[in-house]
Structure 1
């Protein structure tokens, strides 16, 4: 599209565009042209979207008060569908909100393209839509309501009646196809004396159009970003466009790569403006202040842990700075409780008990009053209540806000006004219905910060209509995305949609639209590059068939940029290795138990961070009990059982009834101790299930105990203080058995799969049982065993190392021999000496303060480590791998 003719036409009469973006672009170019001529002030040109011009003509006809907005139309459709479902006892599989959206779209198509659905065979969906449409038309006639799609026809009638003055000249720009209702309106304008001009984009041939294939979308976007940077380095005033038919699939990649290439220094700073203008904004519901407000409104008497954590951590609630540390500690306590859902009254009691969060306590009490409101109200009254709640809790937070956050707040407050506008069509609803309406509106609302137009525009296919550039790159042009697959409306007869050539009706209609779009875009710039990915998620992609005649040519691109190179290229960095922390006094008991040496063996930094700095990853409770809690319950049950049944002989004389009673008692003891420790009450149904599970698991495990030679349980959950080298730690041994030969077995229960070979590693990465053996004379230690207690009986069993005279089956003896041979150990006494030497060395390293980042194995030590963001080992590895060194 050539600018000069358009701007000249804009000076003579209204210029109507296909979308808001094109209107803004043309107004900006008009202003630049006027300023370039030396003019100091000028009249604003009549450049506007077609929808705005139609609305203004509707106002001339006095239709504004009767015109429903999109939200009101959607809500009216929802109520009609809900009532129809109730009348016909329809199944609950129908999704009311999405059905209302599709029905509204079908209604607009009928108004824009005409046609009578009664003339065609009807499916169940079409028949249902016809019922809904008749109900809609009846209600609209009674109330005098109109929808925007009806305006072209009403304006044409107004022109014929002389109630609207026709302009002398009217120009349309950026329209690929016009629906019949607009074509009829243009004919009415011409009959009324208006000179109508429709500007098309099929001018002379572009000087350069080529195509290229990238490996995948990531590589495709990187090439595009580097090409863009090269053009802007050569000409900073160049107008560049990036168009993608499926822009949503490329949006995140484009934001990141364009920022990295065009503004790498800004990429390292939070909140800086992006160097490109995007036609597709972010989802309003996902923006911080709005997400917090929607979470607040959606809370009930039972609050998900994620919601409670969001309220505690959010900076968008009042007094979040003054109470920030106390709120973070409360969030940590909630996570440690292990509950995925927290009753609101319990959360209030917990905060009251803490005594450090008076302001947050007031917020929770406001929330309690909000949740307790079960009245029926119209959406407008609920909107007022929501605004009051936000004011009471100090939303959107303390201190000054920047321009972006200010626009976010204004956009959300406007959304509350739109919710209130539903009073015109909606009956009174409960609180959760009003909240659901607001949440859906927020999810469907796009947020874009208002800023000056950028010379680099990233657009979808429709938003690119009418735009012109110096250079253009078209992304994602594979056969699965362009032409767009047909998506006929299910509420209209397919034959009608094909006959009237409605959008998305069939493949032929989509092909025609795609050909027009190609014709337009190939002439929208002097240089056009068209690309597609060779594969997406491993699936092969082929180029769109519309690209078959284009020559293949990889465009010239700038060398790749990476904001991390700024850290190494712009300044001289000093490297400082600090693997040594302050030591601790020798021999003084240190909190952390056997976990200290386990962490020290896996990675010295891990031990220092966990036990000296007390750094821990946050807990993430799951639905029900997590595996660790289930293991704790098994430990508690077996401790209770063996504290009363102290030997194999006593186990054998128990009858089935007595055994069942003992297991039931032990399971109850374990649950009570668990609930007391965690300060929670399990729901009754969950409690019954856990009792049954524990008894079943224990009964299956005891089959393994029956098969053993005689033994006596001499200790369960025994606490000891053990000195290892210069480190004193407290231990808690699950169980110690005495055998007939007088030797003792140290046993530790495991619900997971143990790895005995870790005992023989140079750094003994599983030191718990070896440490337990420290407090006993070596000659009395008969063996160390993991007792794996699993819900599947075939997974149960003992795993460990035994003296020859303590083994009770050939299998364990052979396993012992194999391990000793593999790791070069002579016998069990040699293993005990290895444990002592290794563990004393680990203990002395910890006491000395050694804290180097040195994992024993990246899989074993790092895969499930909660300190990766702290030690940054993986980030360092990535930088070494990705950033080339000179």
Structure 2
């Protein structure tokens, strides 16, 4: 804040003993720092600090004088305590433990806001008289109950503080302060005006006006869209502060939360490109936002809250993973091991629900080949859980606050690494939050931990965390927060008719007649226009350089400049002409170097991966190279319950055991349906994964339902098996080694049947996409069965097919046969010369094998972009989509590969 722009009386007050009161803490902090800077410029080494307080701080100091003198003994309620009382009123219950719902919290907030407004306009005694609607009558009853309860218990609502202070001054129990200067205030509400009237002879008010400087820029900037608007704004700020290094710039955003993320990204890119690095400390930036983020949104606080939730039972797997990977828990030396456990054990564990409790997690660690070392930090946490197994016993809020502190300590929160400035302040905010929760013991209640945790979560969501100001040269705030502030330049963004004047709304819980008679916000358009004009005048007087920016259109359509701003009749500038032209970018001559270096030969012809090697090579040479030769595969994760792969594995295992016992179609036909059902039931039981984490009756019911579903589907499939020609099952889940070109691949054949004159190959599939057409072409999508077809001797193969085991009409045989009757219902077009087809496949697959062995790692997806949709190698191949995109194809759902 430039001191030269302040009134002389205010400058004298800063140097004297007068108390200066500002409308906001930001304004008072800015004035104190400006005063300190002026003293340093005078060469002083020490000086008396300026007596500058915000209005709220001043009210608190006057109340403290009353308490110290003994003139008033009531408990001044903090926000949490007042919310607790209002929630009791709106729920109609004394304890409200189990009755507390999100809607009750919302109603309590609405009631408190209406009560604050009524007190500000001295209307609390008139609520019943003007209650003409059901909502107004309901609130009037709530207000009477709340006021009566406060009076009986000796509580004082903060909304009544100004009125009570005035009463004490009039009664002589509070001495009116002397030498008070008010500066930068806007509109006054009646309760505040009456308090000042009681002290009228001892204070003076000043406006914070900055004189217009020669050459100041005042303009309206029009951009094509909202992104261009913010980009032009950021570039203008950079040019301005480069020319005036000590300048202070105010950026006003009507909707801070909507634009904050995009503006912060632009500021990091344009104002502080050195902050672009991931993981850099952002505690000190050349810009800062006046409004904070919900405390619960900070990763450090989210970890502490999830720890608390974990004490209640199983926690979501995603949150458990976040705890394992959090730098704020455990020891810094074990984070890599914890990450490996999370990737290779927890995410691939056979869990039936997407959640896990701490004992189950520790048991999983004991079964892991990595041992329990990665999770050693959870042992003290588990011991803490066991020591506090009586968490169901009601306690006071202060006791629960200490429990949560002990819980955080057991998990070594907030970690061992040095904290950044913002992180350190977050730990202080967390401690303050627990202290605030402890104040809820003011009524002597004892509650369950679940109630205390819900209360803590609500407070963490409602508490905005803003690190202490570092006096950054660029301050981002809402127009309301700029009251009492002065800058070298002000930029008002999003200056459309939808944002300015700000929309005023009446309160739904107060009678309309009451609000209209007192001129409350939202009841009079002329009064709202008058307030907006006053605020605009104060804004224009707070800086010499002022820019209003707006975009002609946004995602919703065309936009219009606010008429109140258009009436200023300022020069209008296009955003593209606002900033001086940037220097031409350095042109670098492109140099193309042909990559002719050959890949080293395969270390062995025995390549892991089986048929998938050729499948990947057919899809894209680079993907086959990256995944098979480099091992660059993505981490696998197991979904909760039976996912597609596990359902397929269970089907394979059950059918394998079934045919091991039945062995032929004739034996199948000789069995009754009940006998088949009983045998299938036993086979499914045997095929179930023994590592399934079955806990409780819900898990047992889920597994029973899956078994029943699979048995019903397989009974239908066996009917399909009996419609075929005669066969005997020779091999089930049989391993074979095949030489294909320069490769030796290990295959596992689902099933090989002996049929009349030869053999028949069967591959079980449960996905929608499985189709024999995927076997054809020079780059087959599913080369698995064609590869199996090369195993039998010449003339032995009579057919091969997908056994598509899906319920309903999708249950069918799909494949090739060289004689009618092997697969019932097969279209005639699939009957072909099997031996000729086998030789064609041999040529195709040999070519793919030679291509892979020869090191063909060309980035050439078969069907862009579909081939690349589920490929994990896109960061490595750096494929330019524009070089291959020929149309707009829709993404397909991935099928089950079984």
Q: Give the TM-score range, shorter chain.
A: 0.7 to 0.9
Counterpart in 2 of 1:4?
6
1:633-644 equivalences in 2 (<5 Å): 633-644=650-661
Which of 30, 34, 38 lines up with 1:29 in the alignment? 34
Aligned pairs for 1:289-300 within 5 A: 289-299=300-310, 300=312
Higher share of residues assigned helix: 1
Structure 1: distance between partners of 2:561 and 2:289: 25
**Structure 2 SS opposite 1:351:** helix
> Aligned-pair distance for 1:255?
0.7
Partner of 1:241: 250
Match of 1:554 in 2: 574
For residue 343 of structure 1, the aligned residue among 337, 357, 362 is: 357
Query: In 2, Cα distance between the equivalents of 1:346 and 1:561?
Result: 60
Offset at 1:835? 3.4
Give the secondary-structure state (helix, strand or coil) at the position aligned to 1:470.
strand
Residues 28-48 of structure 1 show CA distances to partners (whole Å, capped at 9, x for unaligned) of: 222223333334333222222
Alignment partner, residue 881 of structure 1: none
CA–CA distance in 1 between the matches of 2:225 and 2:385? 48
Within 2, Cα distance between the matches of 1:575 and 1:368? 65
Indicate how the Cα distance of structure 1 residues 576 and 675 shifts in structure 2: closer, same or farther if over 3 A, else same: farther
2:328 paired residue among 285, 293, 316: 316
Structure-2 separation of matches of 1:53 and 1:686: 63
User: Aligned Cα RMSD in Å?
Assistant: 3.9
The answer to whether 1:51 aligns with 2:60 is no
In the other structure, the counterpart of 1:821 is none
Distance 2:589 2:442 in 1: 63
Q: 2:810 aligns with which of 795, 806, 810?
A: 795
Q: Distance in 2 between matches of 1:859 and 1:641?
A: 41
Match in the other structure for 1:719:
735
* Structure 1 residues 281 and 121, CA gap change in structure 2 (3 angstroms): closer
Structure 2 residue corresponding to 1:231, chosen from 233, 240, 245:
240
Structure 1 residues 456 and 92: CA distance shift in structure 2, 3 A: closer
Instruction: Note the 1:452-463 alignment, pairs <5 A.
Output: 452-463=470-481
SS at match of 1:526: strand
Check if 1:363 corresponds to 2:381. yes
> What is the number of residues matched between the two proteins?
858
Shift in Å, 1:496:
2.7
Higher deviation after alignment, 74-83 or 409-418: 74-83
CA distance in structure 2 between the partners assigned to 1:607 and 1:553 by the alignment: 55
Shift of 1:726: 3.3
- The aligned runs of 1:443-592 (5 Å cut-off) are 443-503=461-521, 511-549=529-567, 552-555=572-575, 556-558=577-579, 583-588=601-606, 590-592=607-609
Q: Hey, what's the Cα distance between the residues in 1 that align with 2:461 and 2:866?
A: 42
Aligned mate of 1:627, from 644, 659, 669 = 644
CA deviation map 1:435-468 (0-9, x unaligned): 2222222222222233421111111122122223
CA 365–55 in structure 1, closer or farther in 2 if over 3 Å, else same: same
Superposed displacement of residue 305, structure 1? 1.0
- What is the 5 A alignment of 1:262-301? 262-269=271-278, 270-272=280-282, 273-299=284-310, 300-301=312-313
State the 1:64 CA deviation: 8.0
The aligned counterpart of 1:824 is none
Matched, 1:438 2:453: no
Query: Which residue of structure 1 aligns with residue 267 of structure 2?
Result: 258
Change in Cα spacing, 1:19 to 1:756, as seen in structure 2 (3 Å) is farther
1:772 paired residue number: 788
**19-28 or 548-557, larger mean C-alpha shift:** 548-557
Summarize the Cα distance change of 1:650–1:815 in structure 2 as closer, same or farther, 3 Å threshold: same
The one-character-per-residue Cα deviations of 1:26-79 (angstroms, maximum 9, x if unpaired) are: 222222233333343332222221000011011111158721211221222233
3-state SS in 2 of match to 1:48: strand
The residue number in structure 1 matching 2:705 is 689
Q: Quote the offset at 1:345 in angstroms.
A: 2.5
SS of 1:454 mapped into structure 2: coil
Distance 1:487 1:815 in 2: 72
CA deviations on 1:244-291 (whole Å, 9 max, x unpaired) are 110100010011011101112321252243321211223322222222
- Which SS does the other structure have where 1:119 is aligned? coil
Which runs of structure 2 are paired with 1:134-173 in the superposition (5 Å)? 134-173=144-183
Q: Unaligned 5+ residue runs, structure 2?
A: 885-898
How has the CA–CA distance of structure 1 residues 323 and 118 changed in structure 2, closer, same or farther, with 3 Å as cutoff? Answer: closer
Identify which of 728, 735, 752 aligns with 2:768.
752
Instruction: Note if contact 2:74-2:156 (Cα within 8 Å) is conserved in structure 1.
Output: no
Task: Indicate the SS of the match to 1:675.
Answer: coil
Tell me the equivalent position of 1:673.
687
Q: In structure 1, what is the equivalent of residue 895 of structure 2?
A: none
Once residues 524 and 818 of structure 2 are traced to their aligned partners in structure 1, the CA distance between those partners, rounded to angstroms, is: 78
User: Within 1, Cα distance between the matches of 2:261 and 2:163?
Assistant: 41
Measure, in 2, the Cα distance between the counterparts of 1:236 and 1:833: 78
Name the residue aligned to 2:111.
Answer: 103
1:263/1:698 CA distance change after superposition, 3 Å: same
Which one of 853, 858, 864 corresponds to residue 870 of structure 2? 864
Per-residue deviation, residues 340-362 of structure 1 (Å, max 9, x unmatched): 21233322222344343433333
What's 1:822 paired with?
none
Corresponding residue number in structure 2 for 1:836: 842
For 1:282-301, what per-residue CA distance to the aligned partner results, in whole angstroms no more than 9, with x for missing partners? 33222222221111111133
Question: How much has 1:641 moved relative to structure 2?
Answer: 4.2
- Alignment-derived partner of residue 893 in structure 2: none
Q: Is the 8 A contact 1:477 1:544 kept in 2?
A: yes
